[in-house]
Amino acid sequence: MIDTWKENDNQTLYIQLEKCPSDLTGIVTKDPLSETEIIKVLKDLTKTLVDLHSKNIAHIDIKPGNL
């Protein structure tokens, strides 16, 4: 973890994490994914976001370089 801070009268907690050694951009540009692999990644991502949101956690910068 790099940093944490609160905003909105301490109602919103932000957690800044370290960058992972690999990300979706690196994976996709190294070897293009098949249609089946793309569908699996999208399903996993959707399930993860639904789970996070059910816990009132939001990922504020969703992009391949952050996944």
Give the catalytic positions in this structure.
61
Q: What are phi and psi of 63, to 5 degrees?
A: -160, 160
Q: What is the DSSP letter of 31?
A: S
* Of the candidates 61, 50, 51, 54, the residue with the CA atom closest to the CA atom of residue 19: 61
